[in-house]
Every structure is written in C-alpha cells, then in structure tokens.
Amino acid sequence: VRMPQNKTARALIAKSGVPIAAPSANRSGRPSPTTAQHVLDDLGGRIPLIIDGGPCKYGVESTVLSLVGEPTILRPGAITREMLAAVIGEVRVSESILNPMKAGEVAASPGMKYQHYAPNAEVVVVQGNPEQAAKRINALYREAEAEGRSVEIAATEQTKAFYRGKRHLVLGDRNEPETLCASLFSALREMDTRADLILAEGIAAEDEGLAYMNRLLRAAGFHVIDASKES
C-alpha cells in the first residue's frame, strides 16, 4: 500500500471517491519521470490527460520493504535502512539491490531487472575515492572523444573542478546523497539528449546513497570500473 505525499495527488485521490490502482507514469526500463514534462515526453499521445503536481521531491521511487520473515528492503528509496532500523530494529538489504539478479531469480520488486532506468546513451559507473574516480573518468573521456563519441560526465560538487574543459553536469553533493537522488533521473534524461556515453561517479551505498547507487548501477547495466584497483 502506498500513499503519496504530494498534495495534488492526494487531492485527486480524495476527489475520486474510489480506491485507485494505476501503473507508474513511465515506459518500462527508461529513466523514471520526475516532472510532468518527462511524462509528456514518454507518454504524449498515449494518455488523455497529465496533471502537473510539480517536480518530484525525492527523485527516486518509494522504498519497498518486505515483512515476510525478517524485514528486508527490496527496493531502496528516500525512507532509508537507517530510518527503518530506528523504528523496527534490524533491517536486511536484499542482495539484488546492488547486484544483478541471479539466473532464474524472480524479481521481488519493480525495478530489479539487470538493466533498468536506462537512457539510450551507454552509462559507465566509476568507483573509487573522488580523486581516483575523476582521474579514471578523465582518461575514459579522452579515449572516447578520440573515437568520435559524444561524452558527458555526471559529476558532484566535490569533483566538478577536476572536469574543467570537459562537458559535465553537477548532480549534487556526495555528502548529501539525497541531492543526487533528487536529480539523477532528470540528469540522465538531459545528458541523453547530447551524449552517447555518460561517465558517472559511484558513491558510498549508505543512507540515501543506497537508493542512488541502486538506480545508477541498473541504468549502467552494472558496467562498473573500480578506479581504486588501478595504478
């Protein structure tokens, strides 16, 4: 059961006078819409009406928590493991959140496919501390440009100075992962209009960073480079 926080959505529910069951306003596999314009881009001509309730506050879908047996997060969102643990005690995190599903495994929650939330551009995630990641990203950028590719970097406030002279978009603050979540899908859509390769920094999968990395890894189809293991 889900209840939206958005006042416009709640007013629609109240006015309807009936229970509402509806799919998300997005095409499966694509970066989720976080504005009415995104919905129009994806579904214009396919649905009769779009109600603009403003941009999404959190930027990622809701947390899905299973209470069958030990409490387990199946899909992370703005309600974090740490928040839940403060109320109900120990909470597990499904292995599928940060890893591809195993062969034959059935998805226990939406958004758990190997590649999901993906733009048309190729997405590569580079892990490591900010300096390591930036060094590797800059090298990948030069290599891709030499091959004639159009490249853009998904950067953070802490690393933007490393990318001077290169096309990049600042998504938010590494130390405030909720800011990265809020802009991720919108940024993927924006960069997809001008790049065929998106190079993105990985962050710690803690607090809201778990939701961010879950979405980013699936957008990349788990194409990850660990810069900390390179000289």
Q: Report pLDDT digits (tens) over 138-155.
A: 999 999 999 999 999 999
Residue 179 inside a domain? The answer is: yes
Mean pLDDT for all residues in the chain: 93
The total number of structural domains that make up the chain: 1
Res. 137: pLDDT tops 70: yes
pLDDT at residue number 114:
59
pLDDT at residue number 177:
98
Measured CA to CA, the distance from residue 47 to residue 24 in angstroms comes to 12
Residue 161 inside a domain? The answer is: yes
pLDDT at residue number 3:
79
Q: Give percent of the chain with pLDDT exceeding 90.
A: 81
Residue 213 inside a domain? The answer is: yes
Confidence label for 117 from pLDDT (cuts 50, 70 and 90): confident
Residue 40 inside a domain? The answer is: no
Residue 212 inside a domain? The answer is: yes
Q: Which residue has the tokens 């309730």?
A: 53
Q: Find out whether 186 and 59 touch, Cβ atoms under 8 Å.
A: yes
Residue 1 inside a domain? The answer is: no
Kindly report the pTM of this predicted structure.
0.92
pLDDT at residue number 54:
94
The secondary structure of residue 80, as a DSSP letter, is -
Residue 202 inside a domain? The answer is: yes
Q: Which residue has the tokens 């096309």?
A: 167
Q: Find out whether 72 and 93 touch, Cβ atoms under 8 Å.
A: yes
Measured CA to CA, the distance from residue 36 to residue 214 in angstroms comes to 24
Spatial CA neighbour of 111 closest among 63, 57, 79: 63
Q: Supply the range of the domain harboring residue 141.
A: 122-229
Measured CA to CA, the distance from residue 124 to residue 225 in angstroms comes to 7
Res. 230: pLDDT tops 90: no
Residue 153 inside a domain? The answer is: yes
Residue 131 maps to which CATH number?
3.40.50.11030
pLDDT at residue number 109:
80
